[in-house]
């Protein structure tokens, strides 16, 4: 698998996990663990792709008063084909 294919697979996996969560906010640790388990990538590579998807407005970070980070897919993220 080339580097570009690996990146695309990571992005697709992140989006799929958030799509499966539906209307629920997925805790950061749960999203990270699920994607790492499926892709067998290290946390740094997964985090880079989460940050990229957020910068492209495909996912959004929500932080509550306890500073717990959760993620949600946006409408753009639902419609994008990677």
Question: pLDDT tens, 27-43?
Answer: 999 999 999 999 999 88
Contact criterion met (CB below 8 Å) for 38 and 13: yes
The answer, as to whether pTM is greater than 0.85, is yes
At residue 80 the predicted structure's pLDDT band, cuts being 50, 70 and 90, is: confident
Chain segment 8-65, per-residue pLDDT in tens? 999 999 999 999 998 899 999 999 999 999 999 988 899 999 999 999 999 999 998 9
**Domain map (residue ranges) of the chain:** 3-77
Q: Is the pLDDT of residue 81 over 80?
A: no
Give the CATH class of 3-77: mainly alpha
């Amino acid at each position: 698998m080339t580097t570009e294919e690996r990146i695309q697979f990571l992005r697709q996996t992140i989006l799929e996990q958030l799509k499966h969560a539906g209307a629920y906010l997925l805790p950061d640790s749960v999203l990270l663990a699920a994607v790492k388990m499926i892709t067998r990538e290290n946390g740094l590579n997964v985090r880079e792709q989460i940050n990229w998807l957020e910068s492209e407005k495909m996912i959004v970070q929500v932080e509550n008063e306890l500073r717990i980070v959760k993620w949600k897919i946006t409408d753009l993220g639902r419609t994008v084909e990677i």
